[in-house]
Amino acid sequence: MLCQAWRGILSTSSRSALLSQARPDAYRHSRPHPTGAEHVHLSVRHTRLARYLAPLLSILASLIVGSVFILMAGAHPLRAYGYLARAGFGCQGPGIRCATLTALQFSTPLLLSGLSATVAFRTGFFSIGQYGQMLLGGVVAAWIGSHLSLPPLLHPLLALAGGVLCGAGWAGVAGVLKEWLGINEVIVTLVMNQLAVLLVRLVWIPRIEPSARLLPLIEGTRLSGGFILALLAAALIYLYLWHFAGGYEQRMAGQAHRFARFGGIFPRRAVIRAVLLSGGLAGLGGAVEVLGVHYRFVTSFSADSFDGLVVALLGQLHPLGVVLSAVFLGGVRLGALNGLQLQAHIPRELGGALIAMMLLFVSSRRLFRLGAAHPPELRD
């Protein structure tokens, strides 16, 4: 009898094991597990944490790698970064001697370039043509500011509008080539950047008239009203992308290009609208730099070729994040010039190298898996 009972127990346990393998879901009730709502809550918390960790990890990794180059230059990394921080964000005295004001001036074209990239990327259009659009926007603004005689209030407004329209038109060419001819937008915008550089070298424009200049916000500084325009643009872009139908269509076209058609959205129309808006923001950045800082056309803007890309990715493609990352990178560029080069005797190109490494790390899939959300997927 004991043998029969033992055989019955073994057969029952074997049958249960087989059933648990065949139908594992039926036996999971014996172990506590999170409910669906808890899964969603944990996922949301992880996503929110990831949005903060991604740029911070990228900056930290860039500083660590940059320390190697500083050591190779014969300097102490902590001392060099201290010079960079004081020269980029510190204040040596009251009033206009505060470096933060100059950092805000440096950040103005970075902010507009980052907003330009954000609008394009949110729609799935991987545009890196912000630099060329800024150049042409600056050329048109400088020409209007130097060749026309208009009242002080109307003159800068017309010059700014000219820069916006020129930047939008130049970007629109890339959008048409992508949507109607299927040419890759990365290649198109890279080529158009080089074309813009060649075109602006063919023109010479004198200094703009005083009536066309953007007045400084604080006397004795070059922080002009363009910074206020850039902040206003960031607020408007946020409202447009998250609270208006047109912005929703653009984000849907970027997240689910094919599925958007089933929702009554025309992806091609949304992409072209986003490209025009993106180019207009970049053109505004060039116009602001010309009218509010240099008072003539220059090709050496505070935002270089890929700075808008770095600002947008560090800001997680969100206008508020773009504002913060633009101010940070503006301080890095200023600190590299006045801190690393003049005080630590390290080439200022290290600042550009740090920004390039931030772009490298913030776009790294492995780094995002450690504690950050993946960058937005680009459509086919």
287 CB-side CA count, 13 A: 30
Maximum pairwise Cα distance, the chain: 113
* Contact assessment for residue 282 and residue 134, using Cβ atoms and an 8 Å cutoff: yes
Structure tokens at 160: 């700014």
- Separation CA 164–CA 242 (nearest Å): 23
Q: What is the CA radius of gyration of the chain?
A: 27
**Strand ranges for 171-265 from DSSP E:** none
The DSSP H or E segment spanning 99 is helix 99-122
d(C-alpha 289, C-alpha 141), whole Å: 10
Reported pTM: 0.81
As a whole number of angstroms, the distance between CA 85 and CA 62 comes to: 15
Query: Residue 184 — φ and ψ, nearest 5°?
Result: -60, 130
* pLDDT tens-place string over residues 40-63: 444 445 556 666 777 888 889 889
Q: What amino acid is encoded at 105 in this protein?
A: Q
Alpha carbons within 13 angstroms on the beta-carbon side of residue 227 total: 21
pLDDT in tens, the chain (380 residues): 434 444 444 444 444 443 344 344 443 444 455 554 444 444 445 556 666 777 888 889 889 999 998 898 888 889 989 888 888 887 655 544 577 788 888 899 999 999 999 999 999 899 899 999 999 999 999 999 999 888 988 999 999 999 999 999 999 999 999 989 989 999 999 999 999 999 998 888 889 999 999 988 887 778 888 999 999 999 999 999 999 988 888 887 777 666 666 666 777 888 999 999 999 999 999 999 999 988 988 877 766 668 888 899 999 899 999 999 999 999 888 888 888 888 888 887 888 888 888 888 887 754 444 433 344 444 44
Position of tokens 């200022």?
A: 348
**Residue 310 identity (one-letter amino acid):** V
pLDDT tens digits along 121-162: 999 899 899 999 999 999 999 999 999 888 988 999 999 999
The residue ranges of every structural domain in the chain are 54-371
Separation of alpha carbons 257 and 268, rounded Å: 9
Residue type, 179: E
- Rounded CA separation 54/58 (Å): 6
Q: Nearest 5 degrees, angle CA 186-CA 189-CA 193?
A: 135
Asked if 139 and 200 touch (Cβ cutoff 8 Å), the reply is yes
CB < 8 Å & 24+ apart, contacts of 263-271: 268/179, 270/123, 270/246, 271/123, 271/124, 271/125, 271/175, 271/178, 271/179
Report helix, strand or coil for 216: strand
14 and 335 in contact (C-beta within 8 Å)?
Answer: no
Pick the CATH number of 54-371 from 1.10.3470, 1.20.272, 2.60.40, 1.10.530: 1.10.3470
DSSP 118-164: HHHHHTT-----HHHHHHHHHHHHHHHHHH----TTHHHHHHHHHHH
Pick left, alpha or beta for residue 317 (phi over 0 → left; psi -120 to 50 → alpha; otherwise beta): left
Please give the helix or strand (H or E) that residue 113 lies within, else none.
Answer: helix 99-122
